Chain A
Amino acid sequence: MTSLTLRQVSVSLGHGDARTPVLRGVSAACRPGELTALVGPSGSGKSTLLAVAGALLRPDSGQVLLGDTDLAQLGDGGRAKARRERIGYMFQSGNLLGGLTTVEQLLAAASIAGRPARRLRAAAETALGDVGLGHRLRHRADQLSGGERQRVALARALFLEPQLLLIDEPTAAVDRDQAGALTDLIARTARARGCVALVATHDPVVVDAATEVISM
């Protein structure tokens, strides 16, 4: 099983004189099968840390080890490959591709990863059933509630069995009951799949469910 380790990660954003340090020498470790909560006030660098951990952003210095691979050393193409093959994302909003059905959302991810999407339809339907959306297979994003959309995003993030699951504010757009159910689903799934789950959140429900908490 693969763990995520950040060592002395520093990131500055902006250009020239406006370049501002956002992360200064951050170190952290996330174990597989566990839910790690990333907490801190707005502007503390949670999203930047997620971006660095998820190979969306290359740090100025430090190491980002996903297993034995240092994501900080990869070029643009290498990081894109890591994202499509090893990392699953669930963003705060805008997770779903417009006009596509829930099944097609998962098949799109498979297509990007170079998998034979047409042959994975049954697997996609099963994955959606696993997150309680077996009755929503032909629905498009605009026909789903906020919680359902987040569950589709979770199903898609997990569909290709990633080693690292990165989630940004998963409960921001859902009510308290749905937040609890969604958090429970994430924690259970991470445990069952044995993947690292790193969640940036303000929500105490998520923090309470986490086995580790990283404070920024």
Chain B
Amino acid sequence: MYLALLELKAARGRFLLMGCVVLLVAALVGIVSGFTTGLGDDTVSALRRLPATHLAFSPDAKSDQFARSLVPAETLAGWQQRPGVQATPLGVTITRGTTDRHAEVDLAAFGVEVGSFLDPAVEDGQRLGGDGQLVISRKLAEEGVAIGDTLTVDRLGIALKVTGITGRASYGHVPAGYVTTATWQAIRFTAPGASTPAAGLPQQYSAIALRAASSADLDGADGELGTRTVSVTDAYAAAPGYTGERVTMTSIQFFLYLIAPLVVGAFFGVWTVQRQPELALLRAMGASRRRLLGHTLVQAAAVVLGGTLAGAALASAVGLLVGAEVPFSLPGLALTATMATVALAALAGAALTLRRVANADPMTMLGAGR
């Protein structure tokens, strides 16, 4: 250990430089991870908050189901008769509105039955009480909408009275708001400029939210009722942009995880080649192979752990600096897991040089064969 530290001190410039490279890679991985989680939350947090196990869509909606799927009220009634299943309608539509205080906002309108298991609890104000009311997510409140405001849906003229605020939830990067299914149908089916009475609107929903017992025969119900049921988690892919964002960000992370061991491995490879004469000298002085390998691992660990910790701090600082305006989320567990992966990948890169360290030949100190 002492010798390893002596060498670290003697070549501190080189090790510091390498530590900086590890820091940058770790910080980049952390930042990308933060954006991956943040963007994911921003896209599907409203779906994640749904206290349902499955969603049943119309069978013709193979992709982008929340926009394409329409399930009639008769199908809902069929699902409500199934044993082991609780079923309630769900409507999802993205729209825009303006408050009476002239705040222009986007709104992901979630249509739910009052009193159903989808009816959201509120942190402030009152729960959804009837048609024409709106419970907004905390994110929308942060954009300037308050309890008591009236939000008018653009081009439709439908007025929604804000009665309560629930936790942060968004869908497709748009803050969620909860209305009754009748209000949702008015938003979804009213043509711009028309004034269609609610009674004339089709009794259809985007999906049927299910709470299914493990014994429930979902496939059988799908067959009989003409629906296509997926788990709520699988339904995330139906959120706009979710899959594309996830694939992009995960690809970036994957390549960074590849780059980390390559960079660290290349550094320690060059470092080991450069110090072959010194390794040979140490072997000649009696240092065992195990000791030299230990030294190399200690040095690699110091560089990798130092760089990774600094990278974690930098990524966290970026998270704090960007604030709530940017979809960035890096909880402690995710940060720890990400940094542990970077550190392991980097140490694996350093480990690639161990064979060369172990094979340092003390005979070269005597010019073997001279």
A residues near B, CB below 8 A? 13, 22, 42-43, 46-48, 50-51, 54, 56-57, 76-77, 80-85, 87, 89, 91-92, 94-95, 97-100, 104, 107-109, 111-113, 117-118, 168
Chain B, residue nearest A79 (CB): B286
**Number of interchain pairs (Cβ within 8 Å):** 95
Does B366 contact A91, Cβ atoms closer than 8 Å?
yes
Shortest beta-carbon distance, A197 to chain B, in Å?
A: 16
Q: Are B362 and A48 in contact (CB under 8 A)?
A: no
- Of the stretches B88-96, B109-117, B214-222, B274-282, the one at the interface is B274-282
Residues A89 and B6 in contact in the complex (CB < 8 Å), given A77-B288, A94-B281:
no
Is B317 part of the contact surface with A, judged by Cβ < 8 Å? no
Select from chain B the residue with minimum beta-carbon distance to A168.
B366
Interface string of B327-370 (1 = CB under 8 A from A): 00000000000000000000000000000000000110111111
Q: What residues of A have a CB within 8 angstroms of the CB of B48 in the complex?
A: none
The answer, yes or no, to whether B291 is at the interface (CB within 8 Å) is yes
Q: Are A43 and B370 CB-contacts (below 8 A) given A80-B286, A80-B288?
A: yes
**In the complex the two chains form, what is the Cα distance from A57 to B366 in whole Å?**
11
Contact B367 A47 (CB under 8 A): yes
Which among B281, B289, B291, B367 is the interface contact of A97 at CB below 8 angstroms?
Answer: B281
Closest to B365 in A: A91
Q: Specify which of B3, B11, B289, B366 is in contact with A50 (CB 8 Å cutoff).
A: B366
Given the known inter-chain contacts A80-B288, A99-B11, A112-B287, please indicate yes or no for A107 contacting B365, CB distance below 8 A: no
CB 8 Å contact bits of B167-201 with A (1 = contact, 0 = none) = 00000000000000000000000000000000000
**For the complex, what is the distance from the CA of A77 to the CA of B290, rounded to whole Å?**
10
Q: Which residues of A contact B277 (CB under 8 A)?
A: 94
Q: A84, B365: Cβ atoms under 8 Å?
A: no
Closest to B278 in A: A97
Contact (Cβ within 8 A) A94 B370: no
Min CB–CB distance A209 → chain B (angstroms): 22
How far is B2's CA from A39's CA once the two chains are assembled, in angstroms? 38
Provide the residues of chain B in CB contact with A89, threshold 8 Å.
284-285, 365
Q: A56-B362, A100-B6, A104-B6 known; A95 and B369 CB under 8 Å?
A: no
B139 at interface, CB cutoff 8 A: no
- How far, in Å, is A120 (CB) from chain B's closest CB? 10
Q: Does B54 touch A at the CB level, under 8 Å? A: no
A43–B369 Cα gap in the complex (Å)?
7
> Contact at B283–A80, with CB atoms within 8 Å?
yes
Contact code string B312-333 (vs A, CB < 8 Å = 1, else 0): 0000000000000000000000
Contact of A117 among B2, B9, B286 (CB under 8 A): B2
- Contacts A13-B369, A42-B370; A100 near B2 (Cβ below 8 A): no
- Scoring B residues 1 to 37 as 1 if CB is less than 8 Å from chain A, else 0, what string do you get? 0110011011100000000000000000000000000
Please give the number of chain B residues whose Cβ is less than 8 angstroms from any Cβ of chain A in the complex: 28
- Given known A-B contacts A13-B369, A100-B10, A56 and B363 have beta carbons under 8 A apart: yes
A50 to B285, CA, bound (A): 14
Q: Which residues of B contact A87 (CB under 8 A)?
A: 286
Alpha-carbon distance between A57 and B277 when the two chains are bound, in angstroms: 17
Q: How far is the CA of A168 from the CA of B363 in the complex (A)?
A: 12
CB pair B368–A85 under 8 Å, yes or no, is: no
> Whole-angstrom distance between the alpha carbons of A107 and B2 in the complex?
9
**A95-B281, A108-B6, A118-B2 known; A113-B286 Cβ under 8 A:** yes
A22 and B369 contact, CB distance less than 8 A: yes
Q: List 9 A-B contacts (CB under 8 A).
A: A47-B366, A47-B367, A48-B369, A82-B286, A83-B284, A84-B286, A89-B284, A94-B365, A108-B6
In the bound complex, how far is the Cα of B291 from the Cα of A92, in angstroms? 25
Chain B contacts for A54, CB-based, 8 A: 284
Tell me how far the C-beta of B3 lies from the nearest C-beta in chain A, rounded to whole angstroms: 5
Least distance between B313 CB and chain A CB atoms (Å): 29
Is A98 touching B369 in the complex (CB atoms < 8 A)?
no
Complex alpha-carbon distance, A51 and B3, angstroms: 25
Could you tell me which residues of chain B, from 257 to 306, have a CB within 8 Å of some CB in chain A?
A: 275, 277-278, 281-289, 291
Of residues A43, A84, A87, which shows the largest number of chain B Cβ atoms within 10 Å of its Cβ? A84
Which B residues are CB-close (under 8 A) to A99?
7, 9-11
